[in-house]
A and B are shown apart, each in its own frame.
Chain A
Amino acid sequence: MERVDIAIIGSGPAGVSAAITARLRGKSLLLFGSKELSEKIGKAHTIQNYPGLPAVSGEDLRAAFQNHLDTMGIQVTEARVNAVYAMGDYFAVQTANETYEATAVILATGVVQGKPLPGEEEFLGRGVSYCATCDAPLYRGKAVAVIGSSPAAEPEAAYMAEVAGSVLYLPLYDGAPDLPATVQVLREKPTAVTGEVTVTTLHTDGGEYPVDGVFLLRDAMAPTQLVPGLEGKGGHVAVNARMETNLPGCFACGDAVGLPYQYVKAAGEGNVAALSAVEYLAARKRNTKE
């Protein structure tokens, strides 16, 4: 696959703005996100503080963003990014079906609601995992719990059931999960993970379950989980005024980097991130020529 100049992750105001500026500067790019661009745009009733668009509805602002992308020939790649690996001279951007390559990356993923489960961080790698397809074979014959935040987690739970001794599935959404009969569906809210050296127990509002592993399959990953090695600060990505993160070539903008959560701030920062990425690409080119 051909390597693009810039991969932009997230199609809210920050990502859209970054894509527009990157394209104006003649960079090749990938914009990852969704058809509706961002739930947070369409859902807003009236927006009073977007310059030039007084009292615009969320739906109209979304349509205006889409129109702007269309006129510039920018397509949204409708895919969820699962991981971004800093390989040194490039980034590997991984989705469920493909791995893309980009020289620079702009994170515009918005904020993730919800705190980690008590014990989650403590037992990460010692019974807590975010990737069933990665770690399932290590749980051959063992008891595991899978916590799914949307139906997208169901195939991973089904795969788990082929390998593990027993699988408890806790859906954090309504509707009947489509799972093999060997999976026991538990309509309870997880409250904590405890253990000794490794995980021993999943606690819920309904009881305690002895397990060897707990798989947390969330739709929205915190950027610091998405990009191993990325530095965070108080639940956000740590950046400087140029929107640079601690990883060279990786930039971040919008709600992902901190308060206030505002459309114009997100769009403004997306512009800065794109210009910094353009500069980074130019500096790299100079260095490889020398």
Chain B
Amino acid sequence: MVHEVHKNDLTQALAADVAVLDFNATWCNPCKMLAPVLESASQDLEGKALFYGIDVDENLALAQQFGISSIPALVVLKKGQPVARQVGFMPKPTLMQWLNGVL
């Protein structure tokens, strides 16, 4: 499943071995389309990576900290360090290929 981040609190994700951050917003259509794809990817990768949804309106400080200028944006963290990012919608096979290459 995709966990929702609130109040800019990323403690859990930073502590995880591998975390996938999804920066999104309610007014962003491609973000809405990506959500079910990510949900399904998170199930496929259960035990390998934790997934976090970050609404940029609610968590503007995090969006700024990660230099997000287009959404949807995915950032992969390994032990709290960003190792890869992607911007825009991806179909499931493309997303899985990218994630499997990074993880």
Contact = CB atoms under 8 A, between A and B. Distances in A.
Given A87-B33, A92-B33, A229-B94, A134 B70 contact: yes
Contacts, number: 73
A133 B69 CA distance: 13
B45 interface: no
A83 interface: yes
B30 A134 contact: yes
A83 B28 CA distance: 12
Contacts of B73: 125
B21 to A, nearest CB: 15
Interface in A85-118: 85-88, 92, 94, 99
Interface residues of A, number: 27
Nearest to A123: B69
Interface in B49-103: 56-57, 63, 67-71, 73, 87-94
Nearest to A247: B91
A198 B63 CA distance: 14
Nearest to B68: A138
A267 to B, nearest CB: 29
Contact of B30 (A83, A88, A137, A197): A83
B90 A125 contact: no
A198 B94 contact: no
B71 A135 contact: yes
Contacts of B33: 85, 87, 92
Contacts of A213: 69
A213 B70 CA distance: 10
Given A87-B36, A197-B67, A137 B87 contact: no
A97 to B, nearest CB: 12
A276 B67 CA distance: 44
A27 interface: no
Contacts of A124: 70, 87
A251 B67 CA distance: 36
A127 interface: yes
A212 B25 CA distance: 20
Nearest to B31: A134
Interface in B27-52: 27-31, 33, 36-37, 40
B91 A198 contact: no
A193 to B, nearest CB: 13
B90 A138 contact: no
5 contacts: A83-B29, A127-B69, A129-B70, A137-B56, A138-B63
Interface of A: 83, 85-88, 92, 94, 99, 124-127, 129, 131, 133-135, 137-139, 197-198, 212-213, 228-229, 247
A-B pairs, 9 with minimum CB distance: A125-B87, A86-B91, A229-B91, A229-B94, A228-B89, A85-B33, A125-B70, A134-B28, A129-B70
